[in-house]
Amino acid sequence: MTEENPIKNTSTNKKIVEPQLNIILTTDEDDDRPVFISGNFNNWITQDKAFEMEKIENGLYHFKFPYNYTFPEELLYKFTRGDWSEVEIDKYGNRTENRISKRKNGVKKEHVAKWRKNWLPFKNNFLPKVKLISEEFEIPQLNKTRRVWALLPHDYDNSNLDYPVLYLQDAQNLFNENAQYGNWEIDKKLAVMAEYNIGKIIIIAVEHAEKERIKEYNVGNTVLGNGQGKKYIRFLTDTLKPFIDENFRTKSDRENTGIGGSSMGGLVSIFSGIMYPEVFGKLMIFSPSLWVVPKIKLSFLDMDEPQDTRVYLYAGGDESETMIDHVTNFKNRLLKKEGFADKMKIRLSINMVGKHNERYWSDEFPKAIEWLYFSTKEE
């Protein structure tokens, strides 16, 4: 199959080559998601409108590089549906290597068999090692015990590397296939991220307190009454983290330590970062219950020298009438704090059709991990 686009010149009856590089893409598996070309010519940006392909018909796409475009010596690229979670894969569900071309004109015909969707499918051999740290880990601050889990990189036992850590709330809903309301599938998402060499991380997952979950995640005196959140946060910082750093190969500094959760778990994670910025340098906040304390006090952040902190905020447009307003206002208030505009890196991700449930938090999880821990992009 020729890659040139022969155009007949009627006056000379000679074949000439199209002066621009044209890429024709066919795919066996099509849907309504747009298709983009991402490569070394645009810093591998996955939603670059300048490199969105034109849909000719179902299963057929076209892109033409601008005339006299300055190409790298060797063109490296992949096709995506707008995100690495939706990148091309082969017909067996395997990752594909970068496509390579040295052409600068003519027609290049390509084919995609399948596409990832929400980072899936995954490979079993890349699944993290799930370790039950304790059935009854003591919480002396609350005079309770709790199940605590560790998800370790798949090759943890075969390496001597140290890893960044993320402490997550609501462990029952993170990787449990029998969870009542579904789960985030973080084990599967971490497997795909490992396969793509995005980065490896240790997840410490703390189960919630069942009927006392809201009380335990509620910080201070709010519309929900008096909570135990400050004691729970002290458990994380003063008891659990020292144990984890002593028993696992962690990067224990604040730049490599994060905390996160959703709903009330997101709220207590916000307070953890506000109260202990010297411990947590990364916050992963999904659909936080800011309605509980809409005018959240930020006085804890009155530090002499603010430190670099990354905050990934997510909200769904179909969660409540106030969710997007609350997270937007929270972001603006953080950035207005004196000295924080240059130190606080915040990414606000909004899915207008997103609902308040595990399915949407699952979709956001790998994007948040990549940006918080393994990306240099600020926006």
Its pTM stands at 0.81
- Cα(335)–Cα(283) distance, rounded to whole angstroms? 15
- Cα(274)–Cα(29) distance, rounded to whole angstroms? 46
Q: What pLDDT digit, counting tens, does each position of 64-112 carry?
A: 999 888 999 999 999 999 888 899 999 998 889 999 999 999 999 999 9
- Cα(159)–Cα(155) distance, rounded to whole angstroms? 6
Q: How much is the pLDDT for 14?
A: 54
Q: Is the pLDDT of residue 337 over 50?
A: yes
Q: How much is the pLDDT for 299?
A: 58
Average pLDDT over residues 308-313: 93
Average pLDDT over residues 195-216: 94
**In which band, very low, low, confident or very high, does the pLDDT at 221 lie, cut at 50, 70 and 90?**
confident
Q: How much is the pLDDT for 143?
A: 97
Q: How much is the pLDDT for 9?
A: 45
- The answer to whether the CB of 288 falls within 8 A of the CB of 270 is yes
Please write down the HEC assignment for all residues of the chain. Answer: CCCCCEEECCCCCCEEECCCEEEEEEECCCCCCCCEEEECCCCCCCCCHHHECEEEECCEEEEECCCCCCCCCCEEEEEECCCHHHEEECCCCCECCCEEECCCCEEEEEEECEECECCECCCHHHCCEEEEEEEEEEECCCCEEEEEEEEECCCHHHCCCCECEEEECCHHHCCCCCCCCCCCCHHHHHHHHHHCCCCCCEEEEECCCHHHHHHHHCCCEECCEECCHHHHHHHHHHHHHHHHHHHCCECCCHHHEEEEEECHHHHHHHHHHHHCCCCCCEEEEECCCHHHCCCCCCHHHCCCCCCCEEEEEEEECCCCCCHHHHHHHHHHHHHHCCCCCCCEEEEEEEECCCCCCHHHHHHHHHHHHHHHHHCCCCC
Q: How much is the pLDDT for 8?
A: 42
Give strand pairing partners of 108. 23
- State the greatest distance between any 2 C-alpha atoms of the chain, in Å, as a whole number: 92
Q: What pLDDT digit, counting tens, does each position of 342-368 carry?
A: 778 999 999 898 999 998 999 899 989
The packing angle between helices 358-374 and 186-195, to 10°, is: 40
- The answer to whether the CB of 364 falls within 8 A of the CB of 349 is yes
Average pLDDT score over the chain: 89
Domains contained in the chain, CATH given: 6-115 (2.60.40), 124-374 (3.40.50.1820)
Q: Is the pLDDT of residue 304 over 60?
A: no
Q: What pLDDT digit, counting tens, does each position of 230-247 carry?
A: 999 999 999 999 999 999
Q: How much is the pLDDT for 11?
A: 47
